[in-house]
Structure 1
Amino acid sequence: MFCGVGLAARVEGLEAAAIAGAAEVAAGREGAGFVREFGGGAACFAGVGSPLNKVVGVGFGGVPAGEEWEAVERAYAGVGVPVQVELAHLADPRIGAVLTGRGYRLVSFEDVLGVELGGRRWAGPDGVEVRRDEGDEMGAWLDVVVEGFAHSDDEGVASHEEFPREALATVMRAMASSGNTRRYLAFRDGVAAGGASMRIDGAVAALAGAATLPEHRRRGVQTALLSARLAEAAAAGCELAVVTTQPGSTSQRNAQGRGFSLLYTRAVLVKEV
C-alpha cells in the first residue's frame, strides 16, 4: 500500500486530535495540564509522568517560527518535563533541521502501518472469543490492558520510555472515554486474556491499546483482536485501518500478518528544558 504526504497528513491529524482529546480529559482529572495547537498538530501535557506529554502531528501545517518553538519549550519547562516531538518522516523536512538545530536528540522510532479494508474478510483464530465492551466491562478491560502494557514483549526494538501503572491507567481510561472509541476484550477458556480499542473517524479506523496478558501470549489473542476490529471497521464503512507499533515488535508482525503495510515512520526527538 502506497502512502503519500496527503495520506500521512490525514492520519497524523487524526492521531493528534485523539492525543489532544485524551490529554484534555486526563489533565482535567488530574487538575493540571495544557493542550496547544501547534504547527498543524498539538503540544500536550496531561500531568507529570503521562504518556500523553508530547508534541504530535507537526510538519503538515507549515514550519513554526523560532518564537513558537520557544513558547512551547517554556510551557514544558514550566511543568518540569522534557519536550518530546513525534515527527513523521513524510512531514516537512525543515522541521527536522529546526529540531536538531535547537538541540533535540533522536531517541526512538515508531512505525505507522495501514491496510485498505475493501473486499476483504477477517476470520479470527479458533479458541479465542472477542467481545465488544458495551460499557459494563470497563474495569475488566482496563485491568487487562494496563497489566499487558506493564509487561512489555521483549521482541523488537524496546521502547525508550516506561510508565507507572497509574499513569498507564489514566491514559487508557482517557483514550477509551471518547465517544468514537470502541473497546474489546479477548477471552481464552472464559478468562480475559487481552484487550484493545479502535477509534473510527470518518472512513479511517485507528487501532490502538492492544495488550495481552503474559501468560496468554503466542496463543492468537492479538490476531483475534485484530480480526474482530478490522471486521467491525469494514462493516462500519471504513476504507482504511491504521495502527502504530514499535519497530520489529510482535505487534508489527501480527499486523503485517493481517495484511498491513508500512506507511511511514515517526522519529521521536527529545529536548531537556
Structure 2
Amino acid sequence: MNTRRTPLFCDTGLATRIERAEAELIEATARAAHRRLADGRGFVIPLAGGLASFAQADSPFNKVVGLGFGGVPTAGELDEIEQAYTAVGAPVQVELPHLADPEIGVVLTRRGYRLESFENVLGIGIEDQYDVALPDGIAIRPSGDDELDQWLNLMADAVAAPDTQGVPWREEFPRDTYIEAERDSTAADVNRYVALHNNEIAGGAGLRTVAGIAQFAGAATLSAHRRHGIQSALLATRLSDAAAAGCDVGVITTQPASKSQQNAQHSGFDLLYTRAVLVWSARVKAA
C-alpha cells in the first residue's frame, strides 16, 4: 500500500454511495431470512431513499438504514414503520449518518426517538493493484460452502469476545441468531475467506463488492493463532480482490475509539462519518 497517501475525504456523494450499498446488503440479508423462516413476520419497507428492515426476532439486521440523502420521511411513512415494528414486538432503530439532512434528526426527536449510541464508518481509497506478500506460514483462501458451518462458528466466537477498548456495542445478539444472520448474508454476495496458519484454520473474514464500494465484513482470528499477522494478511488479500473487482473505496464500521477502529486507522482507513443510533418503541412512547 502507498505509505504517502492523501486521506480519503467523504462528501455527501460518497456517503450516499456507502449508505446505498449498506441498505442493499441489509435488504438482501433480510429477504433471505424471510425465505428461510416463511412465517410472514418479516418486512422490508422503503423509506425516504433508505429502508426499514425486520429479518427475525433479535436479528442484527432489524434496523432503518440509508436515510438522509433522499428526502425527509413524512409523518405517514414513519407511522407505517412504527406500526410494523410494534406488531412484531421490536423497537425502531434508526442509523442516521451525521452527513444526513439535519431535518431528519429534528423530526425523529420530536416523535420521541432517543439517542442511544454511535458507530463510525471508516474508508480507504483503493489502489489500482496490490502486491500481497504474506508472512511465512500464513495462507489466505476463499472459504467454500463445504466449511460454512465452521466459518460461521469462527465468526461467532469473535463476536462473543468484543472489544473492551472504547465505546461498547449497545446490543448483544443470541449466538444462534447471529449465526443464522451471517448464513443469510451469503444471499447478499458476501465472499468468505479463511486464513491458515501452518495449515490450520486460524481466522476468517468477509468482503462484499457493489457499485465500486468494497464492504469489509468482520474479520476474526482464533486466540491460539493471534500475533502472527493474520489480520493484516486478510486485509491485504481483500484489498487486492477489491481492486481486481474495480472498487475505488473500501469501508468498515466500528465502535468509536475501539481497538477495531484503531487497527483500521493503522491500516490506512480514515474516519469518514459517524452514524447516530436513534431508537423508538411503543413502550417508550407510552412512558
Q: State the TM-score bracket (shorter-chain normalisation).
A: over 0.9
Tell me, yes or no, if structure 1 residue 128 matches structure 2 residue 138.
yes
CA contact (8 A) 2:50 2:66 kept: yes
Measured in 1, the distance between the counterparts of 2:212 and 2:271 equals 19
Q: CA deviation at 1:15?
A: 0.3
Tell me, yes or no, if structure 1 residue 176 matches structure 2 residue 183.
no
Q: CA deviation at 1:120?
A: 5.8
Measured in 2, the distance between the counterparts of 1:269 and 1:215 equals 38
Q: CA deviation at 1:219?
A: 3.8
**Stretches of structure 1 lacking an aligned partner (at least 5 in a row):** none
Q: 1:26 to 1:214 in 2, by over 3 A?
A: farther
Aligned length: 272
Q: 1:214 to 1:99 in 2, by over 3 A?
A: farther
Alignment partner of 1:103 out of 112, 123, 146: 112
Q: Percent identity?
A: 50
Measured in 1, the distance between the counterparts of 2:66 and 2:244 equals 28
What residue in structure 1 maps to residue 3 of structure 2?
none
Alignment partner of 1:15 out of 22, 32, 47: 22
Local SS of the residue matching 1:71: helix
Moved more, 65-74 or 189-198: 189-198
What residue in structure 2 maps to residue 229 of structure 1?
238
Moved more, 7-16 or 20-29: 20-29
**Stretches of structure 2 lacking an aligned partner (at least 5 in a row):** 1-7, 283-287
Q: Equivalences for 1:219-258 in 2 at 5 Å?
A: 219-258=228-267
Query: Structure 1 residue runs of 4+, over 4 Å off?
Result: none
Q: CA deviation at 1:241?
A: 1.0
Tell me, yes or no, if structure 1 residue 201 matches structure 2 residue 244.
no
Moved more, 99-108 or 213-222: 213-222
- Normalising by structure 1, what TM-score? 0.94
Tell me, yes or no, if structure 1 residue 92 matches structure 2 residue 101.
yes
Measured in 1, the distance between the counterparts of 2:20 and 2:32 equals 18
What residue in structure 2 maps to residue 29 of structure 1?
36
Aligned partner of 1:251: which letter? S
Aligned partner of 1:9: which letter? T
Alignment partner of 1:81 out of 86, 90, 93: 90
Measured in 2, the distance between the counterparts of 1:69 and 1:207 equals 31
Tell me, yes or no, if structure 1 residue 141 matches structure 2 residue 151.
yes
Q: Which has the larger radius of gyration?
A: 2
Q: 1:139 to 1:96 in 2, by over 3 A?
A: same
Measured in 2, the distance between the counterparts of 1:42 and 1:217 equals 38
CA contact (8 A) 1:3 1:263 kept: yes
